Amino acid sequence: MSFRVCGRTGCVFHHMCYMVFTSCPQCAGEENWVDSRTIYVGHREPPPGAEAYIPQRYPDNRIVSSKYTFWNFIPKNLFEQFRRVANFYFLIIFLVQLIIDTPTSPVTSGLPLFFVITVTAIKQGYEDWLRHKADNAMNQCPVHFIQHGKLVRKQSRKLRVGDIVMVKEDETFPCDLIFLSSNRGDGTCHVTTASLDGESSHKTHYAVQDTKGFHTEEDIGGLHATIECEQPQPDLYKFVGRINVYSDLNDPVVRPLGSENLLLRGATLKNTEKIFGVAIYTGMETKMALNYQSKSQKRSAVEKSMNAFLIVYLCILISKALINTVLKYVWQSEPFRDEPWYNQKTESERQRNLFLRAFTDFLAFMVLFNYIIPVSMYVTVEMQKFLGSYFITWDEDMFDEETGEGPLVNTSDLNEELGQVEYIFTDKTGTLTENNMEFKECCIEGHVYVPHVICNGQVLPESSGIDMIDSSPSVNGREREELFFRALCLCHTVQVKDDDSVDGPRKSPDGGKSCVYISSSPDEVALVEGVQRLGFTYLRLKDNYMEVLNRENHVERFELLEILSFDSVRRRMSVIVKSATGEIYLFCKGADSSIFPRVIEGKVDQIRARVERNAVEGLRTLCVAYKRLIQEEYEGICKLLQAAKVALQDREKKLAEAYEQIEKDLILLGATAVEDRLQEKAADTIEALQKAGIKVWVLTGDKMETAAATCYACKLFRRNTQLLELTTKRIEEQSLHDVLFELSKTVLRHSGSLTRDNLSGLSADMQDYGLIIDGAALSLIMKPREDGSSSNYRELFLEICRSCSAVLCCRMAPLQKAQIVKLIKFSKEHPITLAVGDGANDVSMILEAHVGIGVIGKEGRQAARNSDYAIPKFKHLKKMLLVHGHFYYIRISELVQYFFYKNVCFIFPQFLYQFFCGFSQQTLYDTAYLTLYNISFTSLPILLYSLMEQHIGIDVLKRDPTLYRDVAKNALLRWRVFIYWTLLGLFDALVFFFGAYFMFENTTVTSNGQIFGNWTFGTLVFTVMVFTVTLKLALDTHYWTWINHFVIWGSLLFYVVFSLLWGGVIWPFLNYQRMYYVFIQMLSSGPAWLAIVLLVTISLLPDVLKKVLCRQLWPTATERVQRGVKHKAPVQATQSSDGPLLKDLLRRPRRS
Task: For the beta carbon of residue 448, count every other beta carbon within 10 angstroms.
Answer: 19
Burial of 788 (0-12, 13-18, 19+ CB in 10 A): exposed
Instruction: Tell me how far apart the alpha carbons of residues 196 and 257 are, in angstroms, rounded to a whole number.
Output: 21
Single-letter amino acid code for the residue at 118:
T
Write out the H or E segment, with its range, that includes residue 990: helix 975-1002
* Residue 85 CB-half CA count within 13 A: 9
Contact between 1015 and 924 (Cβ < 8 Å): no
Instruction: Tell me how far apart the alpha carbons of residues 702 and 360 are, in angstroms, rounded to a whole number.
Output: 70
Listing DSSP states for 245-296 in one string gives E--SSSPPEEEEE-GGGEE-TT-EEES-SEEEEEEEE-GGGSHHHHTTSPPP
The answer to whether 235 is a known catalytic residue is no
Q: Are strands 274-281 and 164-168 parallel, antiparallel or unpaired?
A: antiparallel
Q: For residue 1138, which of 1000, 937, 955 has the smallest C-alpha distance?
A: 955
Work out the widest C-alpha separation in the chain, in whole angstroms: 124
Instruction: Tell me how far apart the alpha carbons of residues 801 and 760 are, in angstroms, rounded to a whole number.
Output: 13
Instruction: Tell me how far apart the alpha carbons of residues 859 and 401 are, in angstroms, rounded to a whole number.
Output: 19
Instruction: Tell me how far apart the alpha carbons of residues 657 and 662 are, in angstroms, rounded to a whole number.
Output: 9
Of residues 197, 210, 395, 427, which has the active-site annotation? 427
Instruction: Tell me how far apart the alpha carbons of residues 39 and 15 are, in angstroms, rounded to a whole number.
Output: 9
Beta bridge partners of 852: 835
Q: For residue 278, which of 403, 145, 183 has the smallest C-alpha distance?
A: 145
b/e per residue, 288-299, with b = 16+ CB within 10 A? bbebeeeeeebe
Q: What is the CA radius of gyration of the chain?
A: 37
Contacts of 354 (CB under 8 A, 6+ apart): none
Instruction: Tell me how far apart the alpha carbons of residues 473 and 649 are, in angstroms, rounded to a whole number.
Output: 50
Task: For the beta carbon of residue 541, count every other beta carbon within 10 angstroms.
Answer: 20
Burial of 1059 (0-12, 13-18, 19+ CB in 10 A): buried
SS3 2: coil
Burial of 147 (0-12, 13-18, 19+ CB in 10 A): middle
Burial of 1036 (0-12, 13-18, 19+ CB in 10 A): middle
SS3 420: coil
Task: For the beta carbon of residue 856, count every other beta carbon within 10 angstroms.
Answer: 21
Q: What separation, in Å, do the N-terminal and C-terminal C-alpha atoms of the chain show?
A: 50
Single-letter amino acid code for the residue at 169:
E
Contacts of 479 (CB under 8 A, 6+ apart): none
Residue ranges with strand state E in 791-865: 806-810, 833-837, 851-855
- CA distances in angstroms from 859 to 102, 200, 261, 547, 876, listed in the order given: 64, 10, 21, 27, 18
- CA distances in angstroms from 242 to 245, 390, 787, listed in the order given: 10, 48, 46
Listing DSSP states for 441-503 in one string gives EEEETTEEE-TT-EETTEEPTT----BSSSSPP-HHHHHHHHHHHHHHHHSS--EEE-SS-SS
List active site positions: 427
